[in-house]
Amino acid sequence: MVRVEFLGPIGLAPREVEARSLKELAKELSKDPEVKKWLSECAVAVNDKIVKDIDTPLKEGDKVALLPPVCGG
Amino acid sequence: MVRVEFLGPIGLAPREVEARSLKELAKELSKDPEVKKWLSECAVAVNDKIVKDIDTPLKEGDKVALLPPVCGG
Amino acid sequence: MLELYPGELDVDKIFAKWRAWGEDKNYGAFITFVGTVRQEDDIEGLSFDVYEPILRSWFDSWQQRARERGAVLRMAHSIGNVPVHTSSYMAAVFSPKRRVALELIEEFVEDFKANAPIWKYDLKGGQRIYARDRSQKIEGSGLLDNPQ
Amino acid sequence: MLELYPGELDVDKIFAKWRAWGEDKNYGAFITFVGTVRQEDDIEGLSFDVYEPILRSWFDSWQQRARERGAVLRMAHSIGNVPVHTSSYMAAVFSPKRRVALELIEEFVEDFKANAPIWKYDLKGGQRIYARDRSQKIEGSGLLDNPQ
């Protein structure tokens, strides 16, 4: 299981998902329309590091964060 | 007569010079080696406005300033 | 060198603290950027969410880049509500010479806008409304959308 | 908006004064540049001559350029002696948006270095030595040299 956190304005509670790679996680998350609609504009961090490879493997206990569009300052 | 001021590090007292243009003034100032050595690196202001034309006319009472290389800050 | 504060920043106090920190370190140039909440669209203020772990690693990587050029960065940001005409963001560069400081403050502030994990909301009529249209997708966004 | 002070600048006080001036004017960005005297070559400090009439007209023409972009400039400079590790120069830009502020502070500070009528001296062993090698000829220099 990995823990998925939805940051900032997404406003959903964290959830535990069974996935051994980001690709598997993407398929799982796409099943929920409330999450699905954010996927096209979110960056992804695994254990607080932004990743850009959909084949990134996941292991038990990993933390995945979805980061919607930002605007600091 | 025009009044010539030597700014910053030149360290010479102001002087009154007879000249009806910057070109005439240049000839007068070149006669003094103490002034001559600064001319190649000085900008020139007439009545506190930087000028770039050697044919600029001068009239009685004009103030000409010589500005050596600057370094503010 | 990264400071987070609840609510608006005490700009004068932070400036004076930073300046005093730098004064015996022989930096010739010290530039600060202050971002202040503008009155527009009838907002009462802005509000911010910050994701601190990634903000810190983003900032640390910038600190490393600055250090390679002999400079040091500092930054302060608000969390939560910040009223109109008060400040939510400060950034600073200390450097031996002015060129590096002028270049770094620009690069740092622009990358901050594009990549720092901070979310902005308008405060309007008691509501907290995500400023979606002024927000930027972080580089690499959309990774999980329709993977092949 | 151009302030000249005998000796070193009280940086915190000037910063706070400028910031307070800007706080109700709806500027979103406020950038300051502070120039501080570095310890090098065994100097005790720097000293400055300023020719105020041309400095003011130079500054006024920059203020006009800033105004056309919706921004305001401020500047403070020392006259006379400024000890090592204290500050002789401050510049600031207020602007509605950050891009203009980032661009203007750079353009203004660089042009200041090249064209403001200010002369710098090293203070060394009680002497005041013109910093000729760090100085720049103003554009148009040499006009009176060997006219044809």
Distance from CA of D25 to the nearest CA of B (A): 28
CB-CB neighbours of B72 under 10 Å: 24
Average pLDDT for chain C:
97
Structure pTM? Answer: 0.95
Task: Give the CATH number of the domain where residue C124 resides.
Answer: 3.90.1170.40
Instruction: Give residue C146's pLDDT.
Output: 82
Chain C: residue nearest A25 by CA? C144
Query: Mean pLDDT for chain A?
Result: 97
Tell whether D25 is covered by a domain. Answer: yes
Distance between start and end Cα atoms, chain B? 36
Please report which helix (H) or strand (E) contains residue B2, including its range: strand B2-6
| Helix (H), strand (E) at residue C124 | strand C118-124
Positions of E strands within A1-73: 2-6, 15-17, 43-46, 49-51, 63-67
Please name the residue of chain D whose CA is at the shortest distance from the CA of residue C84.
D26
> Nearest-CA distance from D145 to chain B in Å?
5
**Cα torsion angle, C20, D94, D65, B48, sign:** negative
- Whole-angstrom distance, CA of residue D140 vs CA of residue B41: 9
The answer on pLDDT for C69 being more than 80 is yes
Q: Do residue B48 and residue D140 have CB atoms under 8 angstroms apart? A: no
Amino acid letter at D35?
G
CB–CB of C26 and D85 under 8 A? yes
- Where b means 16+ CB within 10 Å and e means fewer, C16-39 reads bebbeebbeeebbbbbbbbbbbbe
pLDDT single digits (tens) D23-60: 999 999 999 999 999 999 999 999 999 999 999 999 99
Instruction: Flag whether C142 is in a domain.
Output: no
CB proximity under 8 Å: B 1-60 to D:
7-9, 22-23, 25-27, 29-30, 39-45, 48-52, 54
Closest C-alpha to C14, from C28, C29, C35? C35
Residue C143 lies in a domain: no
Is D11 an 8 Å CB contact of chain C? yes
Task: Give the 3-state secondary structure percentages of chain C, helix then strand then coil, rounded to 5.
Answer: 35, 35, 30
The Cα of A16 is separated from the nearest Cα of chain C by a number of Å equal to 17
Domain assignment of residue C70, given as a range: 2-131
Contact list in C for residue D113 (CB cut-off 8 A) is: 98
- Give me the tens of pLDDT residue by residue for chain B, a chain 73 residues long: 999 999 999 999 999 999 999 999 999 999 999 999 999 999 999 999 999 999 999 999 999 999 999 999 9
Chain C residues closer than 8 Å to D37 by CB: 28
Q: Is D68 on the interface with C (CB under 8 A)?
A: no
D35 closest CA partner among C32, C27, C12: C27
Which domains, ranges and CATH numbers included, belong to chain A?
Answer: 2-67 (3.10.20.30)
* C21 contacts chain D (CB < 8 A): no
Examine residue D127 and state whether it is found in any structural domain, yes or no. yes
Token pair 């959308």 is found at C145
Chain D residues in contact with C85 by the CB 8 A cut-off are 23-24, 26
C40 domain-assigned: yes
Residue D145: inside a domain: no
Q: Which residues contact B58 (CB under 8 A, 6 or more apart)?
A: B2, B19, B20, B21, B22, B24, B25, B46, B64
Checking ipTM against 0.90, whether it exceeds it is yes
- pLDDT, tens digit only, all 148 positions of chain D: 999 999 999 999 999 999 999 999 999 999 999 999 999 999 999 999 999 999 999 999 999 999 999 999 999 999 999 999 999 999 999 999 999 999 999 999 999 999 999 999 999 998 999 999 999 999 999 999 987 6
Burial track D99-137 (b if 16+ CB lie within 10 A, e otherwise): ebbbebbbebbeebbebbbbbbbbbeeeeeebbeeebeb
pLDDT tens by residue, B1-21: 999 999 999 999 999 999 999
Q: Please report, as a single letter, which amino acid is at residue D108.
A: F
Q: Do A49 and C143 touch (CB under 8 A)?
A: no
Q: Please, are residues C60 and D56 in contact by the beta-carbon 8 Å criterion?
A: no
Q: What residues have CB less than 8 Å from C60, skipping those under 6 apart? A: none
SS3 D12: helix
Across the interface, which of B43, B50, B71 has its CB nearest the CB of D118?
A: B71
Q: How many domains, in total, are found in chain D?
A: 1
Token reading at C46: 């802005």
In angstroms, the CA B67 to CA B71 distance is 12
The answer to the question of residue D144 being in a domain is no
Report C:87-116 residues touching D (Cβ under 8 A): 96, 98, 101-102, 105-106, 109-110, 113
Neighbours of chain C (3+ CB pairs under 8 A): A, D
Helix (H) or strand (E) holding D15: helix D11-22
Which residues in chain C have Cβ-Cβ distances shorter than 8 Å to A29?
Answer: 144
Question: Which residue in C45, C29, C36 sits closest to C11, CA to CA?
Answer: C36
Question: A57 vs chain C: nearest CA distance in angstroms?
Answer: 13
**Chain D residues inside the 8 Å CB shell of C96:** 38
Could you give the CA distance from residue C48 to residue C42 in angstroms, rounded to a whole number? 18
Chains D and C touch (3+ CB pairs under 8 A): yes
* Domain-located, residue D93: yes
DSSP string, D41-97: TT-SEEEEEE-HHHHHHHHHHHHHHHHHTT-EEEEEEEEEEEETTSEEEEEEEEESS
Contacts of A39 in chain C (CB under 8 A): 142, 144-146
Q: Do D135 and B73 touch (CB under 8 A)?
A: no
pLDDT for A30 beyond 80:
yes
Going by pLDDT thresholds of 50, 70 and 90, the confidence category of residue C147 is confident
Residue in B40, B50, B70 nearest the CB of D140: B50
